Amino acid sequence: MQAVPLVKTSILAGTVGVITGAGSGIGAAAVRCFAAAGAKAIYASDVVDRNLQAVADGVAQEGYETEVIGVKTDITKSDQVEELVRKVIAEHGRLDWFFANAGIVDFEVLSTTTPEALTRMLDVNVVGAFNSVQWAARGMMNTSDAKPTPGGSIIITTSLASTFGGMGAPAYTISKHAAVGLVRAAATNLGMANTGIRVNGVGPGPTATAIAQNNMQGASQDAMSALMEHAKAAGSNPAAMSAVAPPEYIAQTAVFLASDMAAGVNGENIIVDKGLRQKPDPFSGLMFNPSIEPL
């Protein structure tokens, strides 16, 4: 799936922020989207930094004037997230938005999910997001001549799997339900503290990224075989493939949530699934496709 052409806007003009998991997939697309929205500087973070320079070079080649700074960060380590946020404040004096996008998936059923695998899933998808929220909020309270009042927007990548049990593997589903709990609890706490900081989730449905293949290490043979069979079946099914979104769709929703256009949105989990949940269920009674004629 080719990268989606982006429309340049100025809704994030002059702002500075962080995108985690920026080396590929939704994170890499988000760097493009936030640059297209006029961000002054983007700190592109990932646990492995080998792709970050290519992401930054891509933004420059597309003609965006945004400064992209690659930073290797393990979000499961609170001190590393703190170091990242302190770097942003030291270099730009402000933190306006933080897209806590980094995450992992797995493919095991309940009976083959080990305690170690569940712990790893929660460590990245929940503890990592929690560390991001804690330090992002601290950074957003800093003010400067360019940002005289505290506040900002934190966006956490959740998932369509946070809305029901049949979308992801058990450990992944558990972690993403917890991520939504984090969104709601953080929005409430930061609101009670009168910080001016909003916290929202953006939940991808099926998305054209390499996250599946990037997380296959350690998967059981049964899980690997099932994934290959499902991918093969989906690839030959136009209806299934029509539900797969380019990562820019999710990233552009994050841009909206980061901007003042979403000033009234707080504590929400916005699902970006190309209407997958609205497709008819076999038991819905919709036995044939409706036809809508023009006037």
Strand order across the 41-46 sheet: 67-72, 41-46, 16-20, 97-100, 152-157, 197-204, 269-272
| Residue 76 near residue 123, CB atoms below 8 Å | yes
Closest residue by Cα to residue 255 from 213, 202, 181, 185: 202
Q: Are strands 67-72 and 97-100 parallel, antiparallel or unpaired?
A: unpaired
Closest of 69, 25, 21, 27 to residue 46, by C-alpha? 21
43 is catalytic: no
Catalytic residue among 43, 64, 172, 249: 172
Residue positions annotated with a catalytic role: 172
